[in-house]
Copies of this chain bind each other. A is one copy, B any other.
Amino acid sequence: MRKVTINDIAKVLNVTPSTVSRALAGNLRVSLKTRELVKAKAKEMGYKPNSMASALRKGTSDTIGIIIPRINRHFFSNIISGVQEVLDPAGYNLMVMQTGESLAKEKKAIETLMNNRVGGLLLSISSETQNGDHLSEVIQSGVPLVQFDRVLSEVQSVKIVNDNRQGAYIATKHLLKMGYKRIAYFGGNPKLDTYINREKGYKEALSEYDVPIDSSIILHDTITRITGKEAMVSLVKKKKIDAVFSAGDYSALGAIDALKQMGLSAPEDYGVVGFANEPFSEIMSPSLSTVEQFAQEMGNKAAVAIIKSIKEGPMNYIETIDTRFIGRESSIKS
């Protein structure tokens, strides 16, 4: 019941293992006749290549590692799906690691993947990660790296990101067009590029409409349903705002919770726009205006980039994916 190996095939056909290996790989150094003979025999004998042996000898495998903060987040699971869409037909496998936003776990994940001799590494950093010190091993070893969504700009690699600035800009502009003037900003971790850029886009739109930027209504770490709700209650009480652009849908949802609780509503009393197009944003009532990010596409691009990097050596460029504004009830006054 032992597995059939290349050597077994070689013995049966009275050739050497090297010939079998080359034949199976389609190497032109072995004649067409033998190539076909070997392939047929391999199939007949039920040969299954041992990826471990191959990886050991070659020093690299057909497995690609991906590291993300959380797999059970709509955005990231869609990215994975997009990655596999490309990797699968190309013959690569995917090993998934989660950091749970912890730098320590991120380091461990990188180490594990390196020990497994992955052919390439896809990474979206944890919110704790401040620099690329822990990536030096990856860079030095020559294993190609592709960063996506949350990237460290200091680290040399392909970077695939959303145009967060543009998305936030359009969303904020939309609110301005609808006549809202005092628009709050709810952001996340202010150290992440993602949120830095969303804030930039927000400010840019305000400036364009000559609306003064008021730092007292620009909030950070206000990205969950709970914190969004609390912030909204407070801002409404202070009568400081007439709308919110939230850098996440959850905090936008929280804002709407707050309005409902206070007997107010969107878009009549306050305009609300989120970011991410979470599945619930369309379903909730009022439905939530938001910015759609193309996660699947991001996954596709990251996968294409890693395959290219594997074949042609590490590269270094940034690719930006446009976002799309989706206007819904929460911000469209009739």
Contacts and interface: CB of A to CB of B under 8 A. Distances in A.
A28 B280 CA distance: 56
Nearest to A58: B52
A81 B72 contact: yes
Nearest to A81: B72
Given A80-B72, A94-B95, A95-B63, A52 B283 contact: no
Contacts of A283: 253, 280, 283-284
Given A280-B284, A285-B285, A61 B72 contact: no
A143 to B, nearest CB: 12
A121 to B, nearest CB: 14
A253 B284 CA distance: 11
Given A77-B77, A98-B81, A52 B48 contact: no
B94 A96 contact: yes
A34 interface: no
Contacts of A49: 115
A304 interface: no
A74 interface: yes
A3 B143 CA distance: 13
Interface string A275-296: 0001110011100000000000
B116 A93 contact: yes
B116 A51 contact: yes
A56 interface: yes
Contacts of A51: 115-117
Given A50-B117, A56-B56, A72 B63 contact: no
A265 interface: no
A63 B285 contact: no
Nearest to A73: B77
A259 interface: no
A53 interface: yes
A280 B278 CA distance: 9
A40 to B, nearest CB: 19
Interface string A81-121: 10010000000011111100000000000011011110000
A78 interface: yes
Contact of A50 (B1, B56, B63): B56
A116 B52 contact: yes
Nearest to A282: B280
Nearest to A84: B98
A77 B72 contact: yes
A45 to B, nearest CB: 14
Given A50-B117, A84-B98, A93-B116, 10 more contacts: A48-B114, A50-B115, A53-B56, A71-B71, A72-B81, A253-B283, A279-B280, A280-B280, A280-B283, A280-B284
